[in-house]
Structure 1
Amino acid sequence: MKPMTYKGYSARIEYSDEDDCFIGRLAGIRDIITFHGNFVEEVRHAFQEAVDFYLETCRQRNEAPQKPYSGKISLRISPNIHARMAMQADAAGKSINQWVAETLEHAIHA
């Protein structure tokens, strides 16, 4: 499932039975920015308004808004694991980056 995104920000959305609505939060930043709605289009609109409000508030305060995760990570692993990953990637006809990304994606959804 692809997350809802707007201006580089992603939404984490859950249903609240207690509140009888969907409650969302900007994902991947430390600031807590929330929004809610009763149906998809309402949630999407509230998400976009929340992002715009967050960016405008940061601008007015002369503060840099937090950026969501870039998608780049740096790992320190043993040379043995690095070599085994390279062999697995090569056997699959993929780059190490592609192999690791697909392996992590599979693990996340397992």
Structure 2
Amino acid sequence: MILKHDGYIAEMSYEEGDASMNGVVVNARATLHFAGRDIEELRRAFAETIADYREWCEERGVEPEKPYSGTLSLRIAPELHRRIAERAAKAGESINQFIANRLEDVA
């Protein structure tokens, strides 16, 4: 199960016999864990974890890591760039959409 809050994404897990579900934020370098006995408690704990993380960063004068924006700068060889442009045109897609679709295929 995946939860989203304010741009952050967390994966949930549950082990048979545990009294609670556990979550971990997956799109931050910081290790952010939380838990809850039901989905509403889990959602609240997730939001509180993000708020605590931001407060912790502020107290230390550190910029909190922001979730991935979806923008990726990529440097490739000009010949590869040309081949991708050609394939994108043949597929009727922009280069960006062509690359995003190929990445979805392998992710």
Same fold (TM over 0.5): yes
* Deviates most, 99-108 or 5-14: 5-14
Shift of the 15–81 alpha-carbon distance from structure 1 to 2, 3 Å rule, reads: farther
Structure-2 residue corresponding to 1:56: 55
Q: What is aligned with 2:71?
A: 72
Pairwise CA distance, 1:90? 0.9
Q: Which residue of 1 aligns with 2:14?
A: 15
Instruction: Name the TM-score, length of structure 2 as normaliser.
Output: 0.81
Give me the CA root mean square deviation.
2.1
Whether the aligned pair in 2 keeps the contact of 1:9 and 1:68 (CA below 8 Å) is yes
Shift of 1:78: 2.5
**Whole-Å separation in 2 of the counterparts to 1:89 and 1:47:** 40
Counterpart of 1:25 in 2: which secondary structure?
Answer: strand
Measured after TM superposition, the shift of residue 12 of structure 1 is 2.4
Residue identity (%): 41
TM-score, structure 1 normalization: 0.79
Unpaired stretches in structure 2, ≥5 consecutive residues: none
Deviations 1:10-43 (A, max 9, x none): 2122333464542211222221110012332222
Amino acid aligned to 2:43: R
* 2:100 match: 101
Counterpart residue type for residue 27 of structure 1: V
Structure 1: give runs of 5+ residues left out of the alignment.
none
